[in-house]
């Protein structure tokens, strides 16, 4: 099974990837760190599922080059392009935030929005908290097991 993690926080990415490699040995994971590199990966390869951060920079940041504008809803932008270009991987949002855009929308409201607009591909969200490892790991496991 092939999965893609689109996540710009190196520490969070490492923990998620480690968890997956230890508990889901049959899954081969790729990792990208921005909207554009994530999108490019989706267009070039097929994935069974995608774990998607919501806030992402536009481009990869390497050494000194600009990562472009930050996107509070970069994950939603990716879902939009997936729908537009008919990409069918299942998507789970993995986010650290309960609210977005300065508190104007809660994760539950965003979840409803995403379910309405992207019902074919969006499967829900997991809240990642670095101090509550068991919780997010359990939720992620449940989601992944529903695909396998």
Partner 1 sequence: MGKSNDNRRHFISKVNKGKVSRHDFKGNIRYSCDIDQRIYILNKLSENYWNLAYNNPLPKTESLIASEETFFSQSTSLIEEIKWFFEVFKHYNYHLNLFTEVNRTIETGILLGNTSNVDLCTEKIEKEISSSLYLLIIEMYLNEQENNRKANEEIINELSINGKSTKLPLIAEFAKLRMEKDLPPWQYDSTVEHHMSMYPNDAKYLSEYIVLKFEPFNFDFAFENKEFIVNFESDFSVIDRLNSIQTILPLILHTLNIDEVNELELEIKQMSLTSKDLYWDRLLCLLNPKHLNNLMLSPYQKNHDKVADLFFEGEYLRVAELAATALHINPEIQELHSYFVKSIIFIGKEVSEYFNEDNVLTQILKLMRSMLLKDEKYTANREKLIAEYYNNSFFNFSSCLLQDLYTDLQFEMPGTIITKVFLTSNVISHRSIQAFEENSYLELPIVNQSNWDKFVRRSLRNESLILDYAKFYQIELFAISKIKNRNFESALKCLNEFQLHNKYSEMPEFVKTWFTKSKIKCLYELKLIGETVNLIIEEYFRSNILYDHYYFQDLMDELIENDESPIYGEISIPIFFQITKQSRSLCYDSIANFLIQNELRRPSELNEKKLDFDIKAVTFFLEKCCIKSHIEDSPYINSIDALSSERISILNCLKKTNPEKLKKYNEEILNITKEDTIRKGVKHIHESRIYVDTDSLFKILNADITEVFDRYLSLDNKRYSALSALTLDEVFNPNRVNSMFYCLEPVEPNLLQFYSLGEPFNDPNIVRVPIIRYTHFVLLFEEIKNEFIFNEDFGFKSFLSMRIRHGTFQNVLRNVFDKYNLIGSKELSGDEYKEINYWKEGNRIPKMFENRLQELLKISSRSIDDLIDLARSWIKIYEQEEDKNAMFDFSFSDFEMRAIFINRVGRINNSQDFIQEVFSILFDRMDKQLNAIRQRIDSELSSKFVDIIEQMETDVASIYGNNNKTSQVEEQILACKTEIQKVTNQVQQWFKMSQNQYVDEFPIEMILEASIDYTNSINGNILNIAKVERNIKCNSKYKGKYFEGFGDMLINIFDNIIKNNKDLYEKLDIKIMVNSENGLTKIIVSNNISPNIDVEELKIKIQDIKRKVSNYRDGNMANSFEGDSGYLKICRCISADLEQGNYEVNVEYSNNKYEVQITIENKNLII
Which residues make up the interface to partner 1 (CB under 8 A)? 8-12, 35-37, 39-40, 42-43, 55, 58-59, 61-68, 77, 80-81, 84-85, 96-99, 130-131
Reading the block at residue 10, the tokens are 């190196």
Q: Which two tokens stand for residue 132?
A: 């509550």
Considering the complex, state which of residue 99 and residue 119 has its C-beta at the smaller distance from partner 1: 99
**Shortest spacing between CB 123 and partner 1, in angstroms:** 21
SS3 7: coil
Instruction: State which residue, 40 or 138, has the beta carbon closest to partner 1.
Output: 40
16, 26, 22, 40: which is closest to 94 by C-alpha? 16
Two structure tokens written together for 38: 């994530």
C-alpha–C-alpha distance, residues 117 and 9, integer Å: 27
In the complex with partner 1, the residue whose CB is nearer, 3 or 74, is: 74
**Which residue lies nearer to partner 1 by CB, 14 or 115?**
14
CB of 27 to partner 1, least distance (A): 24
CB 4 within 8 A of CB 50: yes
Burial degree of 4 (CB within 10 A; 0-12, 13-18, 19+): buried
**Closest approach of Cβ 145 to partner 1, in Å?**
25
Q: Which CB sits closer to partner 1, 35 or 144?
A: 35
CB of 36 to partner 1, least distance (A): 5
Question: Shortest Cβ distance from residue 138 to partner 1 (Å)?
Answer: 17
Rounded Cα–Cα distance for residues 39 and 78 (Å): 7
């Amino acid at each position: 099974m092939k999965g893609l993690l689109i996540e710009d926080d190196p520490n969070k990415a490492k923990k998620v990837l480690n968890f997956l490699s230890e508990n889901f040995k049959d899954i081969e994971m790729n990792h990208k760190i921005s909207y554009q590199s994530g999108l490019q990966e989706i267009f070039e390869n097929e994935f069974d599922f995608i774990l998607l951060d919501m806030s992402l920079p536009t481009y990869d940041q390497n050494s000194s080059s600009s990562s472009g504008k930050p996107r509070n809803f970069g994950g939603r932008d990716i879902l939009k392009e997936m729908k537009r270009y008919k990409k069918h991987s299942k998507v789970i949002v993995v986010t650290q935030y309960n609210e977005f855009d300065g508190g104007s929308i809660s994760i539950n409201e965003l979840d409803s929005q995403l379910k309405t607009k992207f019902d074919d591909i969006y499967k829900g969200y997991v809240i990642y908290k670095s101090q509550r490892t068991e919780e997010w790991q359990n939720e992620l496991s449940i989601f992944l097991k529903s695909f396998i």
